[in-house]
Amino acid sequence: MKASLKTKLVISFLAVILICGLVATLVGTRLIGTGIIRQAQDKVRIDLNSAREIYRQEGEYLKDEVRLTALRFFIKDALLKNDMIGLAEELEKIREAESFDILTLTDNRGRILVRARNPSISGDSQADDELVSYVLSNQHVINATVIVPADELKKEGADLAEQACIEFIPTPKAKPTQQIRQTSGMMMKAGAPIHGYDGSLLGVLYAGKLINRNYKIVDKVKDTVYQAVKYKGKDIGTATIFQSDLRISTNVMRQDGTRAIGTRVSEEVYEQVLVKGLPWIDRAFVVNNWYIAAYEPIWDIKEKIIGILYVGILEQKFTDMRNETTAIFLGIAFGGMIFALVVSSFLAKGILQPIRQLIFASHQWASGNLDYRVDATQKDEIAELAETFNLMASSLKERDERLKEYTQQQIMKSERLATLGQLAAGVAHEINNPLGAILMYSHLSLEEIGTDDPQRKNLEKVAAEATRCKNIVRGLLDFARQSEPNVEEADVNEILRRTLSVLQNQAQFQNITITPKLSASLPKVVMDCGQIQQVFTNIILNAAEAIEGQGEVTIATRMAESGRSIEIEFTDTGHGISKENIEKIFDPFFTTKEVGRGTGLGLAVSYGIIARHRGSIQVNSSPGKGTTFIVRLPLKEEV
- Of residues 503 and 356, more confidence is placed in 503
> What is the reported pLDDT for 1?
44
Q: Is 101 helix (H, G, I), strand (E, B) or coil?
A: coil
Q: Which helix (H) or strand (E) holds 35?
A: helix 5-70
pLDDT 10s digits, 82-108: 888 889 999 999 999 999 999 999 999
This prediction has a pTM of 0.51
pLDDT 10s digits, 438-473: 878 788 887 778 777 878 878 778 878 877 777 667
pLDDT 10s digits, 272-323: 999 999 999 988 888 778 889 999 999 999 999 999 999 999 888 877 777 7
Q: For residue 592, name the pLDDT band (cuts at 50, 70, 90).
A: low
pLDDT above 90: percentage of residues in the chain: 36
Residues 6+ apart with CB under 8 A from 10: 344, 345, 348
| Residue 443: CB atoms within 10 Å | 16
367-405 burial, b at 16+ Cβ within 10 Å, e below that, comes to: eeebeeebebeeeeebeeebeebbeebeeeeeeeeeeee
pLDDT 10s digits, 136-195: 999 999 999 999 999 999 999 899 999 999 999 988 888 998 889 999 999 999 999 999
In the chain, which residues fall in CATH 3.30.450.20?
A: 47-318
Residues pairing with 188 in the sheet: 145, 209
Residue 370 to residue 396: CA distance in whole angstroms: 8
Residues 6+ apart with CB under 8 A from 36: 318, 321, 322, 325
Cβ 84 vs Cβ 78: under 8 Å: yes
Is the pLDDT at 423 greater than 70? The verdict is no
Cβ 151 vs Cβ 247: under 8 Å: no
Is the pLDDT at 370 greater than 60? The verdict is yes
Is the pLDDT at 414 greater than 60? The verdict is no
**Identity at 129, one-letter amino acid code:** D
pLDDT 10s digits, 51-75: 999 999 999 999 999 999 999 888 9
For all residues of the chain together, what is the average pLDDT? 82
Q: For residue 216, name the pLDDT band (cuts at 50, 70, 90).
A: very high
CATH architecture of 484-634: 2-Layer Sandwich (3.30)
Is the pLDDT at 562 greater than 60? The verdict is yes
* Alpha-carbon torsion, ordered 368, 373, 378, 381, to 10 deg: 50
Domain 47-318 part of CATH 3.30.450.20: yes
- Of residues 481 and 535, more confidence is placed in 535
Q: Which helix (H) or strand (E) holds 597?
A: none
In the chain, which residues fall in CATH 3.30.565.10?
A: 484-634
> What is the reported pLDDT for 596?
40
